[in-house]
Structure 1
Amino acid sequence: MDEIVISGGHRLSGEIAVSGSKNAVLPLMVAGLLTDEKLTLRGTPRLADTRTLAKVLAELGATVAEFGNGPGEGMSIDTPTLANTRASYEWVSKMRASFWVLGPLLARAHEAQVSLPGGCAIGTRPVDLYLNGLAAMGADISVEGGYVNATSKGGLQGARVDFPFVSVGATHVLLMAACLAKGETVITNAATEPEVVDVGTCLQAMGAQIDGLGTRILTIQGVEKLHGADHTVTRDRIEAGAFALAVAATGGDVTLTGIDEAALGALAPAMRLAGAGLSETDGG
């Protein structure tokens, strides 16, 4: 698509079901690699990124199946065995989130070979935060030919990981890896976004022991094994905000279902100050 033409001047009205969050569903799909049982995700958005990640997971041995249509749609990730622990540049270069498989592969299979998102980079890499955290947990890591080669003989060990700056991706990777590590892991300066909380909530449903979700300090007690779960993906707050602004700009009246006002964060009071009316209903 080369361009999008918008003919304005029309009042928006009706009801919109807010999609599941892309920023939550991608790490949730990756979390399916942590267990040999089925992980069912409901309310998943159908995007090019989810299809790409499904191919990455399939290459590693997962069976990813979509089901349903509309509000009842979802997907399952079933990885009874890890057939492969190598994520190639072909896939990681298409979507950076593919790099996140490093954590679950290392935690479950004790080895991983994952392409750097930018190929063979010289100097400081954006993923060094991930690698330093995993190294603190006992992983032996080297970077050669644009690939991260990681092993954790005997399994990852609990550790204290102090992020020098906040990173959502690094929080996802270290949180997932710590779930199967031996002992306690403490992550400081962790990301607090709702999508991180959603991933943590799903991991808890899978048997992970996590304290501090939504705060800057996460404490994880590693367990020997995670099991399957049935989890509904949090709604996409960015999509909801975009719809809310479009409705307000046109003087419209639209019901956004599946999401509450709190998910809009600072946008809700800002819209009220600008004169927009927002109210919650039983349906969201």
Structure 2
Amino acid sequence: MKKMIIKGGQKLSGEVTIGGAKNSTVALIPAAILADTPVTFDSVPDILDVHNLMLILKSMNVTSTFNHGELYVDPTKINKVPLPGGAIKSLRASYYFMGALLGRFGEAVVGFPGGDNIGPRPIDQHIKGFEALGAKVLEQNDAVHIKTGAAGLHGARIFFDIVSVGATINVLLAAVKAKGTTIIENAAKEPEIVDLATFLNNMGAQIRGAGTDVIRIKGVDSLKATNTHTIIPDRIEAGTYLAFAAANGDGVLVKNVITEHLEPFIAKLVEMGVYLEVNEDSIYVRGGGKLTPVTVKTAPFPGFATDLQQPITPLLMKAHGESKIIDTLYPERIKHVPEMQRMGGNISSNNGIITVGYSDMLRGTTVEASEIRAGVSLLGLALMSNGTTMIVKAENILRGYERIVAKLRGLSVDVQIIEKNTDSED
């Protein structure tokens, strides 16, 4: 178990460069097994989820190497094997191997995914999509068994009952090699889906409409990589550092951002009174100034991202008045609330609504990072608090934030990671 030690009361200053998007990467790596050639990705974040996905690839005899942000994947000697547990249990996005294996082999056995516990996240829409494509789905022995008949996968018109990023990606991965044309209606529109479609199209897929609510996929026989795919910047990491800088910064430049992907978040900061200079691929945050309370309501893209409702919470504690957070996607995403209360935060949760008030008596203490975004929100609060904060289970933060200790040190923050029974490390 890792622990993160943060000395509070420090102002962030300088610049930070955002890495590749975690939520793109965890879909792109399973997608790589659809290729008939080796695949290379650039701007890959060095996070635990990437290494766990590489372990899953290894179990299928897929070679992968990762150096300095470049990931090489060779699926040409892939073996068709069940993926019942192990690394599958460590991250939610492992379920993308369902769609990828179904597209590659016409069958898949994948254990129920793990990852952060932030409330119910059923896979019924994934199953609905697979069945529409001609697969039979059986759940047994804590695994999902998916198999097609002799005719294989076929195109279909699929209307999702709810907007689901995971289901959109999984069905897209299965349909890209199905016979005929698949139309996904009420599809998710996240930038990470566009990134995935771009990668597949560059290998010869025929996908139109990614980024809209209707995606059309004409199945192809073969996918071949000819160029390195550069992963888009991580909008959630960018939003997190913007929130840190706005709450406790003295001039921070956040580099390598696609501002269009952050428009709902930027709009909320502006509404609060945060001073921003939005450039073509960077955003400067001056910090300071009186802030106004706001209401944050999460929604599928292009709405306010659910993954940013926790990172923005410490900033809301700087506003003079009462702010509200309503997470329409994951109303049970509240595990950070009692931990923040222990730090002196004026915050409560009732009936799916989080209420955040001005908090000027924040103090460092020992808290627990129960999942990625809850953990990073506690880190943001620790930066604002008096004294020192220890975050246990800090490995959860490292799952989603590349080199976060080094990046914070580059912003003049006194922070370190302590491994159990070892000295500190970055």
TM over 0.5: yes
Task: Mark the runs of 5 or more structure 1 residues left unpaired by the alignment.
Answer: 119-123
Going from structure 1 to structure 2, the CA distance change for 1:277 and 1:132 (only over 3 Å counts) comes to closer
Please list the CA deviations of residues 219-240 of structure 1 after superposition, one character each: whole Å capped at 9, or x if unmatched: 1111111111421111111111
Unaligned runs of 5+ in 2: 115-119, 284-426
Post-superposition Cα deviations, 1:41-98, rounded to whole Å, max 9, x if no partner, equal 1001011111111101111121111123xxxx22011100321331122222221211
Residue from 78, 83, 95 that aligns with 1:82: 78
Q: Specify which of 232, 235, 239 is matched with residue 234 of structure 1.
A: 232
How many residues matched? 274
C-alpha separation in 1, matches of 2:156 and 2:281: 44
Tell me by how many angstroms 1:260 deviates. Answer: 3.1
Q: CA deviation at 1:141?
A: 2.2
Give the secondary structure class of the aligned counterpart of 1:13.
strand
Aligned Cα root-mean-square deviation (Å): 2.0
> In structure 1, how many angstroms separate the alpha carbons of the residues matched to 2:278 and 2:127?
45
1:245 aligns with 2:243: yes
Q: Is the alpha carbon distance of 1:251 and 1:89 closer, same or farther for their aligned partners in structure 2, counting shifts above 3 Å?
A: closer
Aligned mates of 1:48, 1:158 — CA distance in 2: 35
Map 1:32-71 → 2, pairs under 5 A: 32-68=32-68
Separation (CA, whole Å) in 1 of partners of 2:231 and 2:131: 31
- Whether 1:112 aligns to 2:129 is no
SS of equivalent to 2:146? strand
**Partner in structure 2 of residue 97 of structure 1:** 93
1:2 Cα deviation (Å)?
A: 4.1
Q: Distance in 1 between matches of 2:106 and 2:274?
A: 55
Equivalent residue for 2:253, pick from 243, 252, 255: 255
- Give runs of aligned pairs for residues 1-284 of structure 1, distance below 5 A: 1-2=2-3, 4-10=5-11, 12-68=12-68, 73-117=69-113, 126-152=122-148, 153-228=150-225, 229-273=227-271, 274-281=273-280
1:59/1:84 contact within 8 Å kept = no
Q: TM-score, normalised by structure 2?
A: 0.61
**Larger Cα-atom Rg:** 2
How far is the alpha carbon of 1:133 from its aligned partner? 0.8
In the TM superposition, residue 251 of structure 1 has moved relative to its aligned partner by 4.5
| Higher mean C-alpha deviation, range 85-94 or range 249-258 | 249-258
Sequence identity (%): 35
CA distances 1:194-230 after superposition (whole Å, capped 9, x unpaired): 1111111111111111111111111111111111142
Offset from partner CA, 1:114-145 (integer Å, 9 cap, x none): 11236xxxxx9812221221111011222222
